[in-house]
Amino acid sequence: MITLFTKRHKELIENDKLKISFSKNQRFRLLKIFNRHLCSRDATNETGFNYSISPKSEAIELYKELKGIEYLNPYAQNTYGDFSFDEFIKSDIHFEILDFLELFIESIKNIEDNDYVCDKKNSEESIIKFTNEINHFFSDEDFPFRMINDHIYKIDSEFLESEIQYKVIKLLKDNRFENALLEFEDAKKRFSTGDYNGCIFTLNSSFESFLKIIFNDKNSNQGDLIKQLKKSDIIPNYFEGFLDSFYGIIQSVFTISNKSVRHGKKTKLEGNNVIDKEISSFYLNLVGTIMIFILNRKSKLDFNELE
C-alpha cells in the first residue's frame, strides 16, 4: 500500500520547511494532464447498479481510505455534497495535489487485463507518458519537484535526507529491529536539537544493533560484525574496498564524538575535528543509506533461497 506524500514528509510540512502553492491556471493544466490518461472499467454495486471506475475515482477512494475520511469535502453530509476529483484539485489544497499525482499512478497500476478498456501494456505506457508530462509541468512552472519511480521528490538535499530517514525508520519498523529503530530515532532527535556528537554516538549504537540482528549475533563487537558482513553474500566482492572505507569513517567520526560525549565541555574540539551539523547530517544519511542497502539485499537473498 502506498504511503501518502504528505505523511512521508509530515515533519517538513509542519515545520514549514517544505512549501508549494498551485495557482488556478496550474491546477487547470494538471487536470488536462490527468484527463489525457484515463482508462475505465465497468463495475456493479450490491444493488445491481452498473457504473464505471476510472483512475480518478480509484484515486479518490484510496485517498479517503489512507486519510481515514468519508468525504473529500469536510462539510459534506452525504456523497451528493462531496467533491469530485476535479473539484478537489480546484479547491484550496496544495500538498494534497502531490498525494493525488502519486495515487493516480497507483490507480493506473491496478488495471488488470480485460477489466479495463485499456490493457496492461497500455497502462504501463500511460504511466511513462503521465510521468513525462508531470515532469515537464514541474520544469515549465519552475517547481523544484520531479516524479521518479512513481514518487514525487524535491530536488533539494534536506528533502532527500527526509526521504532516506523515513525509509530507514519504516524498514526497521516493518522488520522489527526494535533496538536499532529506537536508537536511530533517538539519533534523529539529537540531530534536530543540535546534539551532533550525541547523534553520531547513538547512530553508531543503532548500526551495531542492526548488524547483530542481521547476523543473529548478540555478542560480537562492531568490528567483528563488519567482518561477517564482508564474508557474507550480502556485500558483493567489489564492495569490500568501499566497506573498509565506510568502516574507517565510522571509526574516525565515532572516536571524535565519543571523546566529546564522555568528557562533555571539558574536551574542546577545534577546526576540522569539530562535529558540526554538516558532518552529523552526512553521517546520519550515510548510515541510513547503508542500512537500507543491507536490509534490501538480505531480503532479496532470503527470498531467493525460498524459491
Question: What is the tens place of the pLDDT at every residue in 14-55?
Answer: 888 888 999 999 999 999 999 988 766 655 656 666 656 788
- Give the three cell numbers for residue 161: 535526507
Q: Domain spans of the chain?
A: 5-154, 157-306
Predicted local distance difference test score (pLDDT) of residue 111: 59
Q: Percentage of the chain with pLDDT > 90?
A: 21
Reported as a pLDDT band with limits 50, 70 and 90, residue 241 is confident
Taking every pair of Cα atoms in the chain, the longest distance, rounded to a whole number of angstroms, is: 78
**Chain-wide mean pLDDT for the chain?**
81
Q: Classify residue 154 as exposed, middle or buried by CB count within 10 Å of its CB (0-12, 13-18, 19+).
A: buried
Would the pLDDT of 268 be above 60? no
Predicted local distance difference test score (pLDDT) of residue 25: 96
Q: Give Rg (Cα) of the chain.
A: 24
The pTM for the full model equals 0.54
- Selected residue with higher pLDDT from 299 and 48: 299
Predicted local distance difference test score (pLDDT) of residue 88: 93
Would the pLDDT of 107 be above 60? yes
- Selected residue with higher pLDDT from 204 and 169: 204
Predicted local distance difference test score (pLDDT) of residue 79: 67
- Selected residue with higher pLDDT from 306 and 201: 201
Q: Which long-range contacts (CB under 8 A, 24 or more apart) does 154-162 make?
A: 154/18, 158/12, 158/17, 159/9, 159/12, 159/18, 161/281, 161/284, 161/285, 162/8, 162/9, 162/11, 162/12
Amino acid at 250: I
Residues ≥6 apart with Cβ < 8 Å to 99? 4, 5, 6, 63
In tens, the pLDDT along 51-104 reads: 567 888 889 989 999 999 988 887 777 767 788 899 999 998 999 999 999 999
Mean per-residue pLDDT, 127-150: 87
Predicted local distance difference test score (pLDDT) of residue 212: 92
Mean per-residue pLDDT, 161-182: 79
Rounded-to-integer distance, Cα 236 and Cα 230, Å: 8
Would the pLDDT of 122 be above 80? no
Predicted local distance difference test score (pLDDT) of residue 261: 53
- Selected residue with higher pLDDT from 218 and 306: 218
Domain 157-306: state its class: mainly alpha
